[in-house]
Amino acid sequence: MSKSNSMLRLDKYLADLSVGTRTEVKQLIRKGRVMVNGNTIIVPETKVNSNQDRISVDGRELSYVHLEYYMLNKPAGVVSASNDKKQTTVVDLIEEAKRKDLFPVGRLDKDTEGLLIITNDGDLAHQLLSPKKHVDKVYFARLRDPLKKEDEEAFASGLTIDEEFTALPAVLKRVSEREAYVTIREGKFHQIKRMFEAVKNEVVYLKRISMGSLNLDENLSLGEYRELTEDEIKALRSSK
């Protein structure tokens, strides 16, 4: 990050790290509870270098994090959103988050489980979600009715869902009579469910197991998460 981009107002620095709202952190600063490089600072507008300056609140030193990346095994009943006044969101589950600007990369339906990336890296999110990038997303689906022989061909040909949406060709890989893996390169609203409805079937359970190069960590129980490794982040950035 360039030197110019690393210079921030002290109140923004603290708010970015969820120390409090902008109003709350201004009060902290004015009360003399914030130190920069060992000096008490009482002016919220003071510019600090997020890469170099040592900043502490009530004696606790902070470490500025520009970007965060988490893998979440999303449980059913949680909404794919950054905030919601009535329901628990996927971002609410990331208890160790240092930033306040995290968001889910794409959406999983409320009743859908599995892999979800939580980050504040907008460039990476755009790359993974852009239809032009053709990033594969693999789901495990359990169905109400047995799969038919012609379903694989129908998915491979591209399904007309309704007048406004024709799904791009997808890969349907049968696992058992009522179970299959589905690989898509889009992320339309209720897409997997709507594709099976188009072949007169119904999804009763759905779980995303991979996105681009990233596979769901089998060690993560539902609702658990971990930070992505540097190698995983690099691989995602090069996803095609």
Q: Quick one: three-class SS letters along the chain?
A: CCHHHHEEEHHHHHHHCCCCCHHHHHHHHHCCCEEECCEECCCCCCEEECCCCCEEECCEEECCCCCCEEEEEECCCCECCCCCCCCCECHHHCCCCCCCCCEECCCCCCCCEEEEEEECCHHHHHHHHCHHHCCCEEEEEEECCCCCCCHHHHHHHCCECCCCCECCCCEEEEEECCEEEEEECCCCCCHHHHHHHHCCCCEEEEEEEEECCEECCCCCCCCCEEECCHHHHHHHHCCC
Output the average pLDDT for the chain: 92
**pLDDT of res. 3:** 42
Domain range annotation of the chain: 3-62, 69-237
- CATH hierarchy code of domain 69-237: 3.30.2350.10
Task: State yes or no: pLDDT of 193 exceeds 80.
Answer: yes
Q: Which CATH superfamily is domain 3-62 in?
A: RNA-binding S4 domain (3.10.290.10)
Residues 14-52: pLDDT tens digits? 998 889 999 999 999 999 999 999 999 999 999 999 889
pTM of the entire structure?
Answer: 0.81
Residues 129-139: pLDDT tens digits? 887 888 999 99
Residues 53-98: pLDDT tens digits? 999 999 999 988 889 999 999 999 999 999 898 999 999 999 988 8
**pLDDT of res. 5:** 60
Residues identified as active-site: 109
